[in-house]
Amino acid sequence: MRAVCLSALLMCSAPAWCVDIVEVLVSSNERRLSTLVDAPADSARAAVVRATWERLRPMVPMALPTLRVVTGPLQAEAVMGTLVVASEALADLSEGERVLMLAHELGHVSLHHWGEQRTLYQRFIPGEVRPDTTDPVAGALGAEAHTQSYRHEFEADAFGYTIARRMGYGTDTALALMGRQAVPIDTATHPGARRRMMQFRELETRLQQPSRQAAATAD
């Protein structure tokens, strides 16, 4: 899920003063979606992505959101809690990497991260979006949005990895995907690959504990 940079968001929405912040967030997402190009209906690569998506259906206790497969470089993103956008370039990944990447985005949806993002922005900008309502809170909102975005990414990683592991994929798959797709250093919206790799290893250790305890009891 893409976190929103407040300054960029408000600059792009400058003509739209006197709307509330959720309208601005929605408008920003819709503009971005309008620039994407859908993969051709007969695209073999898109079919591979959709097939992996269908494998996730029985793995989650929720109806799958809409999947939109687009052209372009490797990317996947949950948008506004009801849509996952994935490029047909995911077909070039291994099946396990593709599972993990899509399951990560399902995590954003399942964990209601869009709703939490809306709530955060509304708390700082409860009324109309105008310079006098946004400028005084921009710094504090930016700091909290940064913290929230990192938490969301770590939570989605944990959600996605837990599903991928149930499907037979482990840390090798996660580390391969991080090496290929994650940014190497921390950014404003995403923790760097090293921190995410550390979480995958820690999560694997925790997930192995019940089986180790069961084995010890059996002995």
Q: What is the rounded CA–CA span in Å between residue 10 and residue 5?
A: 9
Residue 132 pLDDT exceeds 70: yes
How confident is the model at residue 77, as a pLDDT?
A: 97
Q: What is the rounded CA–CA span in Å between residue 169 and residue 70?
A: 26
Hey, which residues does 76 pair with through a beta bridge? 86
Q: What is the rounded CA–CA span in Å between residue 126 and residue 199?
A: 35
Q: What is the rounded CA–CA span in Å between residue 121 and residue 25?
A: 9
Q: What angle do CA 88, 91, 92 make, to 5 degrees?
A: 115
How confident is the model at residue 183, as a pLDDT?
A: 78
How confident is the model at residue 2, as a pLDDT?
A: 60
Region 190-196 average pLDDT: 92
| 125-143 exposure pattern, b = at least 16 Cβ within 10 A, e = fewer | beeebeeeebeeeeeebee
> Among 69-78, 179-188, 190-199, whose mean pLDDT is lowest?
179-188
Confidence of residue 181 (pLDDT cuts 50, 70, 90): confident
80: which DSSP letter?
T
Q: What is the rounded CA–CA span in Å between residue 76 and residue 104?
A: 9
Other beta carbons less than 10 A from residue 195's beta carbon: 17
Region 152-178 average pLDDT: 96
Backbone phi and psi for residue 69, each to the nearest 5 degrees, phi listed first: -100, 125
The rounded mean pLDDT for the chain is 90
pTM exceeding 0.95: no
Confidence of residue 184 (pLDDT cuts 50, 70, 90): confident
How confident is the model at residue 16, as a pLDDT?
A: 47
Region 159-188 average pLDDT: 92
Region 201-213 average pLDDT: 81
Cβ neighbours of residue 25 closer than 8 Å, sequence gap 6 or more: 4, 9, 117, 118, 121
Confidence of residue 98 (pLDDT cuts 50, 70, 90): very high
How confident is the model at residue 8, as a pLDDT?
A: 56
Residue 14 pLDDT exceeds 50: no
